[in-house]
Amino acid sequence: MGKDGSVGRERWPGELGAFLRARRESLDPSAVGVVVERGRRVAGLRRSEVAARAAISLDYYTRIEQGRIAVSEPVLEAVAKALRLTDGERHYAATLAGHSGPRAPGRVPPVASAALVRLLDDLGLFPAVVLGPGTEVIAWNAQAAALFTDFGALPPHERSLVRLVFLDPDIRARHLDWPQAARQQVAALRYDSACRPDDPALLATIAELRERDVDFRRWWDEHRVEGRPGGPTGYRHDHAGELWLDRDVLVRPDDPTQKLLTLTAPPGSPSAAGLRRLQRVSAEGG
């Protein structure tokens, strides 16, 4: 399954083709130098345009999208360049195609590493959680509990960040831009799902959200992928007021299934002051 042109075995049959099609249809033709003629009715690029950019035949690319053929790593890389996939999207596509190493084990109860737990406590002012597979919250600091919810009071299967963002009305209302935050969670969940296609807890979360939330179902079918979604995120809180926090995700190099999610604010900013109010109220039991 290397650069020699050997092919992998698709882990989720049909998902690779669906992902490539979604990316093809979302790509602006003019952004890749395709002249858009008047009356063009095709969304994004045509299959023939992708095939030409990847230097493969139209028939071969069509069979890739239709899931009728296993794709070699060099061909997949050529298609990725043609579709201008991000690094995260390339890794996701390679994982779906079976080119990114052995599949992750099904389910081992996750335990946060001692080093990450120490980091949680050291962050103090800033909300932070340790995420396991499928956005599962496996450790958190007091400030994260104050901003979001008492994770310890939830049954373990409900401590999923994506599940809370969609199904907990209080957490949904806490986001200033809920659609953006929710779509980031969907993209992160899709990324994890390719690495753990046999994880029963992850599959159960996806099935539940597809059944219970129409927005999740629609955004899941967009096939957007984001391994470590970051950037500024807005929140509202009764005690802290409006907060704009920088979201960062750090991955352990020796265990990429564990990620540290931090929410920070610049020193002296209104958001930092809001976090200090939240910290005081939380310490007082409010």
- pLDDT grade, residue 7 (50/70/90)? very low
Q: Amino acid letter at 8? A: G
User: Quick one: tokens of 160?
Assistant: 């999923």
- The model's pLDDT over 163-202, given as tens digits with 9 standing for 90+, comes to 999 999 999 999 999 999 999 999 989 988 887 777 888 8
Residues 245 and 274: beta-carbon distance below 8 Å: no
Q: What is the pTM of this model?
A: 0.72
- Say yes or no to pLDDT of 64 above 80: yes
Query: Region 137-154: what's the mean pLDDT?
Result: 94
Res 1: pLDDT: 37
- The model's pLDDT over 110-144, given as tens digits with 9 standing for 90+, comes to 678 888 888 888 888 999 999 988 889 999 999 99
Residues 73 and 2: beta-carbon distance below 8 Å: yes
Higher-scoring residue by pLDDT: 182, 90: 182
**Exposure letters 259-270 (e unless 16+ CB within 10 A, then b):** bbbbbbbeeeee
Domain coordinates of the chain in residue numbers? 15-97, 114-283
Res 216: pLDDT: 97
Question: What is residue 158's DSSP assignment?
Answer: G
Nearest to 29 by CA among 50, 56, 57: 50
Residues 31 and 82: beta-carbon distance below 8 Å: no
- The model's pLDDT over 248-267, given as tens digits with 9 standing for 90+, comes to 988 877 777 788 999 999 99
Which CATH code for domain 15-97?
1.10.260.40
- Say yes or no to pLDDT of 13 above 50: yes
Res 162: pLDDT: 95
Res 3: pLDDT: 40
- The model's pLDDT over 199-252, given as tens digits with 9 standing for 90+, comes to 888 888 999 999 999 999 999 999 988 766 678 999 999 999 999 999 998 887
> From CA 139, how far away is CA 17, in angstroms rounded?
36
What are the distances in angstroms from CA 263 to CA 13, 40, 42, 150, 249? 37, 44, 41, 17, 9
Which CATH code for domain 114-283?
3.30.450.180
Averaged confidence pLDDT in the chain: 85
Res 12: pLDDT: 56
